[in-house]
A = this chain, B = another copy of it.
Amino acid sequence: MVRSEGETPTLDQVARLAGVSKATASRALNGGARVSPQAQAAVDDAVRRLGYTPNAAARSLATRRTGSVGLIVPESDERIFADPFFAQMLHVVTRSVKAHDLQLVLLLTQPGKEEQRLMRYLRGRFVDGVIVTSHHRGDRLAENLAELGLPAVFIGSPWTNTDRVSIVESDGIGAGRQAARLLIDRGCRALGTIAGPADMHAGHDRLEGWRQEVSEAGLVADAVVHGDFTEAGGARACGVLLDEFPGIDGIFAASDLMAAGAVRELTARGRRVPEDVALVGYDDLGVAEQTDPPLTTFRNPIGAMATEAIRLLAQRIDEGPGEPPRRIVFAAELVRRASA
């Protein structure tokens, strides 16, 4: 490399070294439409010799694009690191984003708090668009993002403004129904559920589906305890369920982590799974195979949702505003193991 340490080369220097104008150098840099082979080669060579990389701020200012997208996760650190859902989500989002040649900026914010700070950041156009996941009832993200006019796609439906942002989600109602159906079909008659946090839509839908199916079967759908998507919370909720409904013989837990807690609690109390109490989980991200017995559960279509979310986002960024928001629903797939 020609340049000395520290100073950053500019397009101007590249153009000069290549013996072309800045305009031509810029075109050669960006795909090379209408650039002669000689000019292209000269620019390529100059870039290599100078170790040139375009300045992000200058390029952004001119193109009104940053090439970055944000992943907003309004969740506490503890949950993020304790729940494999996030690891998997981050993993697949990272992969999808790379395929579109975008850079991912992770925007962790405490739920509820700091929304002002976040919106300021977004208004500054540090990113071209955002994916938001694991949002809660109280936040005003959907509304704020819609007003900002920033391309946004939600993984999991927000509670309000659902017609103003794009949404990719899994069919929680369907999963809840299927779970109840499965338990009923295997002979359970006293059903209960460990639902997700009441302020998260995914949990809400799974509960709703479960309720519908149980009611339609002519059974009572009263045995509902909300957990917090953690294992400890699942164990606790299961304990409450057993205390209040001792005759319970079938449980649907809205996440495998909570189901794992339930297995622990059930075992501790001498109830066999599935003989005494059948158990269905949700997520299938690893822990379902590690419990004893392994969990019958639903495969959370995280990979498909992330891929689709990024595709939608990239599309919205490209086409600009005007296009109506879209909503895509993936079915959750039943995975049968030993717990039910």
- Chain A residues packing against B (C-beta within 8 Å): 5-8, 51, 53-61, 66, 68, 77-78, 80-81, 84, 86-87, 90-91, 94, 103, 105-106, 108, 120-121, 123-126, 147, 149, 321
Task: Tell me how many chains of this kind the complex includes.
Answer: 2
Q: Is the CB of A77 within 8 A of B91?
A: yes
The CA of A147 and the CA of B59, in the complex, are separated in Å by 23
How far is it, in angstroms, between the C-alpha of A100 and the C-alpha of B147 when the chains are bound?
29
Looking across the interface, which residue of chain B has its beta carbon closest to that of A54?
A: B124
Across the interface, A57 reaches (CB within 8 A) one of B61, B81, B121, B149, namely B61
Residue in contact with A87 in the complex, picked from B8, B61, B77, B321, CB distance below 8 Å = B77
Q: Is the CB of A6 within 8 A of B149?
A: yes
Given contacts A56-B125, A57-B61, A103-B126, A87 and B91 within 8 Å (CB-CB): no
Residue of B with least CB distance to A146 = B5
Listed by A's residue number, 29 A-B pairs whose Cβ atoms lie within 8 Å are A6-B321, A8-B125, A51-B123, A53-B123, A53-B124, A55-B61, A56-B57, A56-B60, A56-B66, A56-B124, A56-B125, A56-B126, A57-B58, A57-B60, A57-B61, A57-B66, A57-B125, A58-B61, A68-B126, A77-B87, A80-B87, A81-B81, A81-B84, A81-B86, A81-B87, A81-B90, A103-B121, A105-B106, A106-B106
Min CB gap A295→B, angstroms: 20
